[in-house]
Amino acid sequence: MNEKKSLASLRHGTIITLAFFLVFFALGMQAGAEGITITQIDASRLLSSQSVRLYLDVDPAPGQTAPEADCITVAESANGTDWTEVPVRSVSKSANTDEGISFFLLLDNSGSMWDGLDGKPSEDTENIRINHAKNAIRSFVEELSPVDRAGLAVFNTNLKTVYELSADSSGIPPALEGITKPARDEAYTELYGSVETTLNAFGEEGRRKALIILSDGEHFPFPPKGSTVTIGNAVDAAIRDGITCYVVNFATSGDVELPRIAAESGGLVFNARNSDELIGIYNTIRTNIQSEYALTYTASMLSGDKRYVRVSVKDSASALETVRYYYAGNVLGSGAAAPEAWMALVALIPLALWVALLFFKLERQTSAAGIQLLYGAGGTTTKAYELTSALTVIGGDETADITIAGNPAMKANAATIAFDEGKGLYTITATSDLTVNNKPVKTKRLEPGDVINMAGTVVVFDDKEKKPQARKKSK
C-alpha cells in the first residue's frame, strides 16, 4: 500500500513538474515573439551569390512604429562568440505579400481525431475533431492570395500526401473530403517521422516556407517502440531546409517534445478547442508571416558547416537583438573548420563560379547541356563537359563517363545525371553524399545554375541547347 502511494506521489510530482515546464516553455516562446525573431533563414543562394536571406518578425514596443531599414544590422559568427558585421543588401516589408508564401499543412488523421471534442467517441459529425480541422483548413486555403502556394498531407501510422504543393489550392477542399477514418492498424500516430519526411520533401526554394502541424496527441508509432525517428531529427531537417514550423495542439494536452521544433525553427505553438479557434490560428499564422521583414545580406563565408547570425535593431526608442544558426555547408567538402590557408579560397568561390559559368555559357551557345567543374578540394582548376548521353555517371574512377581526378574523397561512382527525353528534364541521383544549392539531396531535378558539391568538387549545371541523342555505352 505504501509502495503504491509512493508511486502515485511520484507520478503526481512528475505531472506537476512537466506541466510547469510546458507552461514556462510556452510563455518563453511567446515572450521571444515580442521583440524580434528570425523566423526563417534561406541559404539556398549562398554558394552561387554569397547571399543569405532572413525573414524577421519585428514587434515594436507599444506606441512605437516599426523600425526603418537603416536601423537593422547583421553579423555572423562561426562559433557564436566572435562576430563579423556583414553588409545588408536589401530590406523589404512587403516581400512575403508580393512574392507569396508556401504553406504545407500536415494534418493528424489518427484514430483519436475521429473522437469528439471531449476526447470521447461520438456519433455527432459536427462534434468530431477531424471535421473541425477540415473546416478550418478549408477556410484557410480559401483566403490564400494568388501568389501563395499550399499543399496537404495526413499522417497516422503512415504518411500520405493528399495534395501536392501548388499555386492552385482549389483542389484541397475536395481532397479533404477524401480523408477517411483509418483502420485499427493505421490509427497510430507516427508524429516525428511524418514531420521529418514532410520537411525533407518540401522542395521549395527562394521563398517563405511554413509547415503547419495539427495534432491532437503524442508521438505513438506502430509498433509503439518501432520508430527510430526522434524530434531531434525533425528539428535538424527544419533548420537545414530553412522551414518554419507552427504547432497546433488540438486537444487538452499535446506532445511534450513537439514544441521544440517550433521554438528552434522560428515558429510558435497554439492551442485550439474547436474550428472557430482553429480558423483564427491559421489566419494569425498567415497575417504574422505577411507582416515580416525580408532581409538579404552578404555572407561572411566563414569556414565550417554551422554558422550563427545576429540581427540587431536599434533606433531612438529601443534596442532589440536576436541570434539563430543555420547550416551553411562547406564547399571544401567538410563540416570541420578549414585551415586558414583555405579561407580566402572559400570567400572567392562564389565569384569564381559565376565567372566560370558566364564564360561557359558564352563558349557553348549551340552545344548540348553541360556541367562546369570547380575542384574545391584540389585547387581552383575548372573544366567543362557536355552532357550528350541519356545517362552520365560522374565519379573518381576511370570507368565513369566523367572522371574527376585528383580528389581522393571522390567515390568511384558519386552521382548520375539522367535525361528524360519525353519531359526534357535532367535529374541527378546521388550514390554518395552530395548537396545541391547547399542542401543534401538524394535525387533532384536540375535547373540552370544549380550548384552541386560532391566531396569538395563543385559542379555547376547548365541547361541544354541540344538534346542527347542516345544513351552512352558503358565502358
* More confident position, 151 or 377: 151
pLDDT level of residue 352 (50, 70, 90 thresholds): low
Answer yes or no: is 153 within a domain.
Answer: yes
Predicted confidence (pLDDT) at residue 12 exceeds the cutoff of 70: no
Spatial neighbors of 462 by CB under 8 A, at least 6 apart, are: 357, 360, 361, 364, 369, 370, 371, 372, 448, 449
- In the chain, how many domains are there? 4
pTM score of the predicted model: 0.68
Predicted confidence (pLDDT) at residue 337 exceeds the cutoff of 50: no
Residues 350 and 301 in one domain: no
* More confident position, 431 or 468: 431
Predicted confidence (pLDDT) at residue 279 exceeds the cutoff of 90: yes
Residues 276 and 167 in one domain: yes
What is the rounded average pLDDT of the residues 67-71?
79
Residues 62 and 192 in one domain: no
CA 413 – CA 410 distance, rounded (Å): 8
**pLDDT at position 317:** 67
What is the rounded average pLDDT of the residues 358-380?
53
**What are the pLDDT digits (tens) for 200-246?**
999 888 899 999 999 998 999 988 666 788 999 999 999 999 999 99
Answer yes or no: is 470 within a domain.
Answer: no
Residues 250 and 180 in one domain: yes
Answer yes or no: is 391 within a domain.
Answer: yes
Predicted confidence (pLDDT) at residue 377 exceeds the cutoff of 60: no
Name the amino acid, one letter, at 120.
K
Residues 189 and 117 in one domain: yes
What is the rounded average pLDDT of the residues 46-61?
84
What is the rounded average pLDDT of the residues 83-108?
95
* More confident position, 255 or 254: 255
Range of the domain at 245: 97-290
* More confident position, 363 or 8: 363
Q: Could you tell me which of 102, 39, 55 has the C-alpha nearest to residue 296?
A: 55
**What are the pLDDT digits (tens) for 295-320?**
999 988 776 678 999 999 887 667 88
Residues 53 and 178 in one domain: no
The chain-wide mean pLDDT, for the chain, equals 80
The Cβ of residue 91 has, within 10 Å, a number of other Cβ atoms equal to 19
Do residues 301 and 346 touch, judged by C-beta distance below 8 A? yes
Percent of the chain whose predicted confidence (pLDDT) is above 70 = 76
pLDDT level of residue 32 (50, 70, 90 thresholds): very low
Answer yes or no: is 131 within a domain.
Answer: yes
Residues 169 and 262 in one domain: yes
**pLDDT at position 379:** 39
Answer yes or no: is 474 within a domain.
Answer: no
pLDDT level of residue 61 (50, 70, 90 thresholds): low
Residues 220 and 360 in one domain: no
**pLDDT at position 406:** 66
Do residues 330 and 303 touch, judged by C-beta distance below 8 A? yes
Answer yes or no: is 334 within a domain.
Answer: no
Out of 21-35, 84-98, 214-228, give the one with best mean pLDDT: 84-98
Q: Which three cell numbers stand for residue 18?
A: 512537466
Predicted confidence (pLDDT) at residue 340 exceeds the cutoff of 60: no
Residues 240 and 303 in one domain: no
Do residues 460 and 449 touch, judged by C-beta distance below 8 A? yes
What is the rounded average pLDDT of the residues 102-119?
96
Spatial neighbors of 133 by CB under 8 A, at least 6 apart, are: 107, 108, 113, 214, 250, 275, 278
Q: Which three cell numbers stand for residue 161?
A: 500526401
Give the CATH number for residue 286.
3.40.50.410
